[in-house]
Structure 1
Amino acid sequence: MESNQPIYVICPNRNFAVGGIKQLYKLVDVLNDIGYSAYIIHGKKNFRVTWFENQTPIKYFPSFFALLRKERRKNKSKFPLFLKQLFLGYKMPEKNSIIVFPEVYGPNIHKLAPENKIVIFNQNCYFTFNLFDRVQKDSPYESSNLLGCIVVSDDSQKYLQHAFPNLNVARINLALSDVFQYSGSKKKQIAFMPRKLPEDFNQVHQIVSKRPDFKDWEFVAIENMPELEVAQILKESAIFLSFNHREGFGLPPVEAMACGCYVIGYTGNGGNEYFDDRFNSIISDRDITQFAVELEHIVKTYNNDPNVIIQKGYLASKFALETYNKTNERKDLSIAWKSLLSN
């Protein structure tokens, strides 16, 4: 790789709390930290994500994003592309640059800049084929200009290696943000994220909330909050409910574990590697009765002796912070990127 060869990481122009976008920014930060020249790419000039603190370098290619939008809409745009490019200015990534695409941009990303090498940062393997036709003639995962794919869990690695046997798949551990740290000072508080399977939460909540054991407990929703506020809620909460569903990794339960929460819920497959029955309660996918019964059991245990659950939260935090940290992320990404460049 040339010393000045830019790496451009494509990122949606969305300024609300989405964990995958934060990881795109962090990917750029770590690549720069280990000696590369990386940038987030947005399509809207002067746009920056602000719901978490960052000083990530950004460049803007509106015309390239017009191509992306045209591809995702399967050429249904009513406004001719060449007119958009005249209006936006026809600035495209340098031909020697490496372009990193999230997995959500469809089956023809390798055709948008055919002279560039590309990498796919696949944070959720279950989104891989979302925009593919039933009979897809070719795929970016089998393209000659693909250097390889980065994934964030063992489950995603197995999925993609089975789907594309010749694909170079590099697995990295994500790092938790520094705001997520252990606290043993807990309230009778149960945190959850309402955007994750809200129908499942509603059923569990309706079943348990009027039971006598829950009389002093409060359910607290985490939604569209700055990272610091999320961390504060998790540090105060004794329990976190995981409604992971078909996850590439599923970061919120790990953030909760880092803050000392006892986590109950679904692994979403991606979470199989961090759910451990020594300090979590694993619930079979979409088993509402099992979920309600286990939540009642943990609340009763806490009511009788809070230290039993708080100690399990400490063990969960120790595991999360020792595994998903900046040292491991930096080491993994350094190895992964060298592997991709040698492909």
Structure 2
Amino acid sequence: MISRKIYFVCPTNPHPSGGVKQIYRMVDILNKNGFDAAVIHKKADQRETWFPNNTKVVHNPYLFKLIKYLDKKKLSISKKLKLMYLKKISFSIETDSILVFPEIYSSINKIEPFTKKVIFNQNCYYTFNGFPLGSSAEDFPYNKKNTLETIVVSEDSKNYIQTAFPNTSVHRIRLGINASIFNFSENKEKIIAFMPRKLSEDSTQIINIFQSRNNNSDWKIMPIDNKSENEVAEILKKAAIFLSFNHKEGFGLPPVEAMSCGCYVIGYRGQAGKEYFNSEFSAPVEDGNILEFVLKIEEATKVYDRNPHEIINKGRIASEFVLANYTISNEEKDIINIWNDIMVRAEKLE
């Protein structure tokens, strides 16, 4: 039953991306458990290298060029010739295979229209990107018979998709944190870490206001950007505080990984983060409230300056919560259960 091939269409990202890492992770878990799965990238020899992997990767330039051209009303002769050439040099996708698309592509109804699809929706707030106002129900792949399943990564996303598309099948997987990399450390320093590519307009204001009001502070601000997975973990193990700039997230991995390393996390929940931002061990801030954010950083740094163990113990509780609820074993179990069900439904539609 699980012999049919599963292809995960994977976009190229110039920066490390949690969404891409999760695609790779799901492919690895499926292959480990007897499925035949592969990541599809655009270019030959392309694979992500910012985290260690031996994931099965194949390449299909025709598929990605087709995705690019489908949004155009009319193709020039040169573009048609380009498609013909790329189709000739690309492998043919088997008719009984399953194509898995991320939520960022809007034209998947037109790609291999007779092939069964699954949508791996890691940020529900991107679901309607690319669809014009007034699109009909038939335009959305979630309403198509050939769309076997929508897989999401949080309860917030599950509620979103079920509300938007009441007749679609949607299941949530519990993402797992790799505890061998992201684990608790009590050897904290006066470091405030954050991801600068997230809501930079907010982070610039917040950090500048904090530093302006605390110009004699010995706290170090440390941006995390273009780092490998292991490098990120090493910074988080040292940082006492992590700033979350979640914004309409499908899940929001960075603050969870920071919690796993024992950081006291301050900041935005981004909707999905409501399930793990707990005031017992973190400091949620109303989205967009710049001054509240600054004051909570000040409060946490003053507490740490008086008694570091008070903040470190909150980080310990956060780590215990994350490593109890977001485990690799739970993620694997959810993935296998969902894909076993998908395969049964695929057979019934034959």
Alignment TM class, shorter chain as reference = over 0.9
Q: Deviations over 1:288-341 (max 9, x none)?
A: 111111111111000000000000000000111111121000111112112333
Name whichever of 46-55 and 60-69 sits farther off. 60-69
How far has the Cα of 1:43 moved from its partner? 1.5
Unaligned runs of 5+ in 2: 346-350
Name whichever of 108-117 and 273-282 sits farther off. 108-117
1:267 is aligned with what amino acid? R
TM-score, with normalisation over the residues of structure 1?
A: 0.95
Check the 8 A contact 2:66/2:83 in 1, yes or no.
Answer: no
Name whichever of 196-205 and 47-56 sits farther off. 196-205
Partner Cα separation in structure 1 for residue 108 and residue 72 of structure 2? 13
Partner Cα separation in structure 2 for residue 19 and residue 74 of structure 1? 33
RMSD: 1.6
Partner Cα separation in structure 1 for residue 171 and residue 270 of structure 2? 21
Partner Cα separation in structure 1 for residue 282 and residue 77 of structure 2? 51
**Residue number in structure 1 paired with 2:348:** none
Partner Cα separation in structure 1 for residue 26 and residue 129 of structure 2? 23
**Residue number in structure 2 paired with 1:63:** 62
The alpha-carbon distance between structure 1 residues 76 and 280, as it changes in their structure 2 partners (threshold 3 A), is farther
Name whichever of 124-133 and 82-91 sits farther off. 82-91
**Residue number in structure 2 paired with 1:173:** 174
Partner Cα separation in structure 2 for residue 334 and residue 274 of structure 1? 24
Unaligned runs of 5+ in 1: none
Identity of aligned residues (%): 46
**Residue number in structure 1 paired with 2:17:** 18
How far has the Cα of 1:236 moved from its partner? 0.2
Partner Cα separation in structure 1 for residue 70 and residue 281 of structure 2? 45
Match of 1:200 among 193, 199, 202: 202
**Residue number in structure 1 paired with 2:96:** 96
The alpha-carbon distance between structure 1 residues 214 and 75, as it changes in their structure 2 partners (threshold 3 A), is farther
Check the 8 A contact 1:8/1:41 in 2, yes or no.
Answer: yes
How far has the Cα of 1:212 moved from its partner? 4.2
**Residue number in structure 1 paired with 2:117:** 118
The alpha-carbon distance between structure 1 residues 324 and 145, as it changes in their structure 2 partners (threshold 3 A), is same
After superposition, residues 125-204 of structure 1 pair within 5 angstroms as: 125-137=124-136, 138=138, 139-177=140-178, 178-204=180-206
How far has the Cα of 1:75 moved from its partner? 5.3
After superposition, residues 1-343 of structure 1 pair within 5 angstroms as: 1=1, 3-72=2-71, 79-87=78-86, 89-106=89-106, 108-137=107-136, 138=138, 139-177=140-178, 178-212=180-214, 215-343=217-345
Check the 8 A contact 2:8/2:38 in 1, yes or no.
Answer: yes
TM-score, with normalisation over the residues of structure 2?
A: 0.93
How far has the Cα of 1:215 moved from its partner? 1.2
Q: Deviations over 1:158-198 (max 9, x none)?
A: 00000000110010011123311111100000000111111
The alpha-carbon distance between structure 1 residues 228 and 90, as it changes in their structure 2 partners (threshold 3 A), is closer
Name whichever of 176-185 and 165-174 sits farther off. 176-185
